[in-house]
Chain A
Amino acid sequence: VRPRAAARVAVALALAALPGCGLVTLVHDSTIGPASPAGRIHDLAVGSDFHVTERGPVAEMGGEPLLRPYPPDLLRRLAEPSSFYSAIHGFEAFMAGVSPVVSRETRIGRPALREGGGEPRPGTAAAEVLQRLGAPELWIRRESGSLMLYRSELHRTFSFYVGVPPVAAAFIPVPGAGNLRVRWAREQDRASKLLLFFDRDDRLEAAIAGADPWTAGD
């Protein structure tokens, strides 16, 4: 009797797994998606180009089949070393979702001028500048003289909730608890730039540094 029962269970499980997650997530999105703490999950479940940012997982459906049972890159999602990196990013996004105050900074590129380091002096050779500051984002070489642009960005986000953050509301068994909140968020990009002008002999003529200002209160 036991092997027969096990076979039945196996068949039932196989039948349940046959449609995969595509159908379930599509129904979820169509019914409770707008109010679900998980948000819209169908694209994530079966879409392609899956990756995780500090804001959470991202994937796109594009022209993919809506009822696909499993994502096309299931093994890549779960078995590659990058999946650990994605998991950490996902954890970060979850923590941001349940936290009343979130402050986040993302740096893109390395500032050309480190703290305490001044601009290169006029007359410095291009080779020396490259050695000291590294490769520029842009180097335009012309007969009359060349130009280098160094640029780095700092993306800063600050937000706070008064009340119940949406993800945290999912753990509170009170209907409508998620409405008891006010959210204020501010996002800003600040670029630090350094523009260098060289003469026709690749000697520095002028260096102009600048940084976008933070607005009041930033």
Chain B
Amino acid sequence: VDRRRLTAALALACAALLCACTFSRQRFGDDRFLGADVDWEPGRTTVREVAAALGPPDLVRWSDDRLVFVYRYQQVVRTSFALNFYLNLFSRDQAGQVDGTLVVGFDDRDRLVWWGASRAEDASPTTRTSFR
């Protein structure tokens, strides 16, 4: 079989299979804090050491002499298939999401008091199917 014909046929088959498909990815923030290996010690680690390790935070809160740094990260991956013929005949959407947050609190001497990180990942991505 001619290799060029085979390649063209494969490309056409792929294009036909992927018709009406959409792939998208949204990414907000920096996820480095999720995998950071930190050896912070409450009462000893300073605000500058945290900022030097992870960079400036996304949000800063201050109240009652407590300084709070918030780092955030979000990623959404979406795939969809929508078939139209005058009307929407069939559609299927699937979305998966990863959310990460790190909160670090400091006292009035800018020493670490507490910190906590969360990473939420959709165990079962949202799927929506509709027929007309």
The residues of A with any CB-CB pair to B shorter than 8 Å are 32, 34-35, 138, 140, 142, 144-145, 147, 149, 151, 159, 162-163, 175-176, 178-189, 191, 193-195, 197, 206, 208-213, 215
Contacts and interface: CB of A to CB of B under 8 A. Distances in A.
Interface of B: 15, 18-30, 32, 47-48, 51-52, 54-58, 60, 62, 65, 67, 83-88, 108-110, 132
B86 A208 contact: no
A183 B88 CA distance: 17
B27 A176 contact: no
Interface residue SS majority, chain B:
mixed
Contact of A208 (B18, B55, B109): B55
Contact of A188 (B26, B55, B110): B26
Given A140-B62, A144-B110, A178-B84, A186 B52 contact: no
Contacts of A140: 60, 62, 67
A186 B56 contact: no
B29 A183 contact: no
Contact of B84 (A142, A159, A176, A187): A176
Given A147-B60, A183-B21, A212 B48 contact: no
B60 A149 contact: yes
A145 B26 CA distance: 38
A142 B86 CA distance: 64
A198 B23 CA distance: 46
A144 B87 contact: no
For the complex of A and B, the 8 pairs showing the least CB-CB separation, nearest first, are: A210-B55, A34-B88, A193-B56, A195-B56, A212-B30, A185-B24, A183-B22, A187-B26
Nearest to A209: B56
B24 A186 contact: yes
